[in-house]
């Protein structure tokens, strides 16, 4: 390790120290609370405050080091990527309790029990007590590919250490193989590896916290690495499986539809192949879980204002401003508690609907700008940029729900093409979006809890709206290296 440290640049050292600090914080939280569980298992206010400070310091180091690597990519990022993966692999639950819901859904679905149309079977899972109270009545939001990919955790029984160990082996070994392949295929593209494999967001929320979005990233990246004849069928298969792992990966459709096609006839054939692949694989992977149409629509009931909660930072900021103007002092920070009933919840639903409509119109403006750019012509890099920007517009602006790990689906495409305005945006987006989860280090009654929650949410909302014109409407075509594609032309 000493020789490794001497060979690292200062930015790489800060990045590695930051990741190590966050990993140590995850162990400190577990030891301090006596449990892996995050929800309803909060440390004391004093310990939680110290933990929060350490988390912000670690995150600041990791992001600042990574920001310099984005500006000046290291020539050989391979060693850094595998060191970062090794450090993140030791991380325990710290920023999310979702892993225990995943364990419960995997254990039940592996036994043939329904997890999509209702939560009636959840109490029979050994992980039921580990699930946060607000999620115990929610169907599984994960696609069938994610559920099946999580089945290795069943080998751990009800032991959280073993369940997480088997899941990490099942996910991180293929990740390491794919990383090695990407370093060989994209050997001349260090920015690809910096934006994806060295990204603190990816390392913490993927290998660290084991969100199922990691499965989708693996599949999407595998599709990007395919060349020649494999690009069509292999890309369609990768895209379909990724979409069946989590719905937001379906937004990457433009790349897998248009990449490598030269004529309208080729695009029609590629489109038909994508539809056929999604239908066939969807039927195959949903077959063990099928309980009728509710299997598809059941999980969607928890994503909007009708469910009584919102996680879109911009909408939450608008909601907070309206409450301040109304002088509503009865509002409780948690909208699902008994205090948030009656007129409060009804008013919030109206505010959410209006605010979300405005955000969707803003997302539409961004999409129209991207479509205009594609109609002018594109090459591989221009198409990759448009696909990544589309994903960001949809998950940050149009979606009624946001979590930082949703951004992972856009990273492989920006690795292929990332204009300067977007490089700046990504640094701030990574820094702000993950920090919104740091308040989980505090008990809900902590003095600084509402301050931390408000500041990080406002910061994230500001970043989502920041540089909008520069990111979507005022891009110089040379920044994404687009070239005109005409009938019969060659990429």
Digit-coded pLDDT (tens) for 158-170: 999 999 999 999 9
Domain housing 402: 2-314+353-479
Q: Give the number of domains in the chain.
A: 1
136-159 residue pLDDT tens: 888 888 999 999 999 999 999 999
Asked if pLDDT for residue 1 goes beyond 80, the answer is no
Determine how many CB atoms are found less than 10 A away from the CB of residue 16: 20
Spell out the alpha helix ranges (H) of 341-410. Answer: 343-376, 380-393
Q: Which of 108-112, 148-152, 332-336, 480-484 has the highest mean pLDDT?
A: 148-152
The answer to whether residue 488 sits within a structural domain is: no
Rounded to an integer, the average pLDDT of 193-199 is 97
Determine how many CB atoms are found less than 10 A away from the CB of residue 189: 16
The answer to whether residue 322 sits within a structural domain is: no
Percent of the chain with pLDDT over 90: 65
The answer to whether residue 343 sits within a structural domain is: no
Percent of the chain with pLDDT over 70: 87
Band the pLDDT of 474: cuts 50, 70, 90. Answer: confident
Task: For residues 292 and 324, give the distance between their C-alpha atoms in angstroms, rounded to a whole number.
Answer: 44
Task: Give me the pLDDT at residue 36, please.
Answer: 92
Asked if pLDDT for residue 306 goes beyond 60, the answer is no
Task: Give me the pLDDT at residue 475, please.
Answer: 64
Band the pLDDT of 313: cuts 50, 70, 90. Answer: confident
Task: Give me the pLDDT at residue 476, please.
Answer: 57
Task: Give me the pLDDT at residue 7, please.
Answer: 64
More confident residue, 443 or 305: 443
Band the pLDDT of 484: cuts 50, 70, 90. Answer: very low
More confident residue, 453 or 304: 453
The answer to whether residues 203 and 85 touch, using CB atoms and an 8 Å cutoff, is yes
- Concatenating the DSSP letter of every residue in 89-129 gives HTPPS-S-SHHHHHHHHHHHHTTT---SS-STTGGGSTTGG
Task: For residues 132 and 30, give the distance between their C-alpha atoms in angstroms, rounded to a whole number.
Answer: 16
Task: Give me the pLDDT at residue 262, please.
Answer: 85
Band the pLDDT of 249: cuts 50, 70, 90. Answer: very high
Q: Which of 49-58, 221-230, 263-272 has the highest mean pLDDT?
A: 49-58
Q: Quote the radius of gyration of the chain (alpha carbons, Å).
A: 22
* Cα–Cα separations (whole angstroms), residue 280 to 112, 161, 163, 244, 373: 21, 36, 31, 11, 33
Spell out the alpha helix ranges (H) of 144-263. Answer: 144-149, 160-185, 190-195, 200-203, 213-225, 230-243, 253-258
| Average pLDDT over all residues of the chain | 87
Asked if pLDDT for residue 336 goes beyond 70, the answer is no
Least confident of 327-331, 430-434, 440-444: 327-331
Task: Give me the pLDDT at residue 6, please.
Answer: 57
The answer to whether residue 341 sits within a structural domain is: no
Task: Give me the pLDDT at residue 148, please.
Answer: 96
Band the pLDDT of 302: cuts 50, 70, 90. Answer: low
The answer to whether residue 294 sits within a structural domain is: yes
Task: Give me the pLDDT at residue 377, please.
Answer: 73
Instruction: Please choose, from the candidates 97, 171, 98, the residue with its C-alpha nearest in 3D space to the C-alpha of residue 140.
Output: 98
The values of phi and psi at residue 163, to 5°, are: -60, -45
Task: Give me the pLDDT at residue 213, please.
Answer: 96
Q: Which of 31-45, 341-355, 367-381 has the highest mean pLDDT?
A: 31-45
Task: For residues 402 and 262, give the distance between their C-alpha atoms in angstroms, rounded to a whole number.
Answer: 36
36-55 residue pLDDT tens: 999 999 999 999 999 999 99
The answer to whether residue 347 sits within a structural domain is: no
Band the pLDDT of 485: cuts 50, 70, 90. Answer: very low
Token pair for 130: 């580990």
The one-character DSSP state at 42 is P
Band the pLDDT of 483: cuts 50, 70, 90. Answer: very low
Token pair for 259: 């990449």
The answer to whether residue 358 sits within a structural domain is: yes
The answer to whether residue 40 sits within a structural domain is: yes
Asked if pLDDT for residue 171 goes beyond 50, the answer is yes
Task: Give me the pLDDT at residue 346, please.
Answer: 67
Asked if pLDDT for residue 330 goes beyond 90, the answer is no
Task: Give me the pLDDT at residue 341, please.
Answer: 41
Band the pLDDT of 80: cuts 50, 70, 90. Answer: very high
Asked if pLDDT for residue 307 goes beyond 60, the answer is no
Rounded to an integer, the average pLDDT of 333-341 is 43
The answer to whether residues 271 and 232 touch, using CB atoms and an 8 Å cutoff, is no
């Amino acid at each position: 390790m000493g020789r490794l440290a001497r060979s690292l640049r200062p930015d790489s050292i800060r990045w590695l120290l930051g990741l190590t600090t966050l990993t140590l914080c995850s162990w400190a939280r577990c030891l301090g609370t006596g449990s892996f569980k995050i929800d309803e298992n909060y440390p004391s206010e004093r310990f939680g405050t110290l933990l929060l400070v350490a988390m912000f310091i670690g995150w600041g180091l990791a992001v600042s080091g990574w920001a310099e690597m984005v500006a000046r990519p290291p020539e050989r990022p391979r060693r850094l990527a595998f060191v970062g993966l090794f450090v993140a692999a030791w991380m325990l639950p710290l920023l999310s309790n979702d892993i225990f819901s995943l364990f419960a859904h995997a254990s039940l679905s592996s036994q043939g029990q329904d997890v999509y149309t209702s939560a009636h079977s959840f109490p029979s899972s050994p992980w039921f007590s580990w699930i946060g109270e607000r999620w115990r009545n929610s169907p599984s939001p994960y696609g069938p590919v994610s559920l099946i990919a999580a089945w290795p955790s069943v080998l751990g029984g009800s032991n959280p250490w073993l369940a997480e160990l088997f899941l990490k082996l099942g996910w991180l070994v293929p990740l390491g193989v794919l990383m090695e392949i990407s370093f060989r295929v994209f050997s001349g593209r260090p920015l690809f590896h910096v934006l994806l494999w060295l990204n603190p967001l990816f390392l913490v929320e993927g290998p660290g916290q084991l969100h199922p979005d990691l499965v989708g990233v693996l599949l999407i990246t595998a599709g990007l690495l395919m060349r020649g004849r494999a690009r069509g069928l292999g890309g369609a298969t990768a895209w379909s499986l990724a979409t069946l792992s989590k719905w937001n990966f379906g937004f990457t459709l433009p790349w897998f539809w248009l990449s490598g096609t030269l004529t309208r006839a080729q695009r029609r054939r590629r489109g038909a192949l994508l539809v056929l692949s999604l239908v066939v694989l969807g039927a195959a992977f949903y077959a063990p879980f099928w309980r009728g149409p509710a299997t598809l629509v059941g999980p969607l009931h928890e994503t909007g204002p009708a469910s009584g909660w919102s996680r879109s930072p911009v909408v939450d900021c608008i909601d907070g401003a309206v409450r301040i103007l109304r002088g509503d002092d009865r509002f409780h920070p948690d909208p699902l508690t008994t205090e948030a009933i009656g007129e409060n919840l009804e008013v919030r639903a109206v505010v959410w609907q209006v605010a979300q409509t405005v955000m969707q119109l803003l997302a539409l403006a961004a999409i129209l700008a991207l479509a205009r750019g594609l109609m002018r012509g594109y090459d591989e890099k221009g198409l990759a940029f448009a696909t990544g920007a589309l994903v960001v517009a949809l998950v940050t602006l149009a979606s009624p729900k946001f979590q930082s790990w949703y951004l992972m689906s856009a990273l492989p495409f920006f690795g292929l093409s990332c204009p300067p305005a977007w490089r700046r945006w990504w640094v701030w987006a990574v820094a702000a979006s993950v920090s919104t989860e740091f308040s989980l280090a505090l008990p809900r009654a902590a003095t600084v809890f509402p301050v931390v929650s408000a500041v990080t949410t406002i910061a994230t909302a500001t970043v989502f709206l920041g540089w909008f014109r520069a990111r979507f409407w005022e891009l110089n075509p040379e920044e994404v290296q687009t070239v005109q594609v005409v009938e019969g032309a060659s990429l």
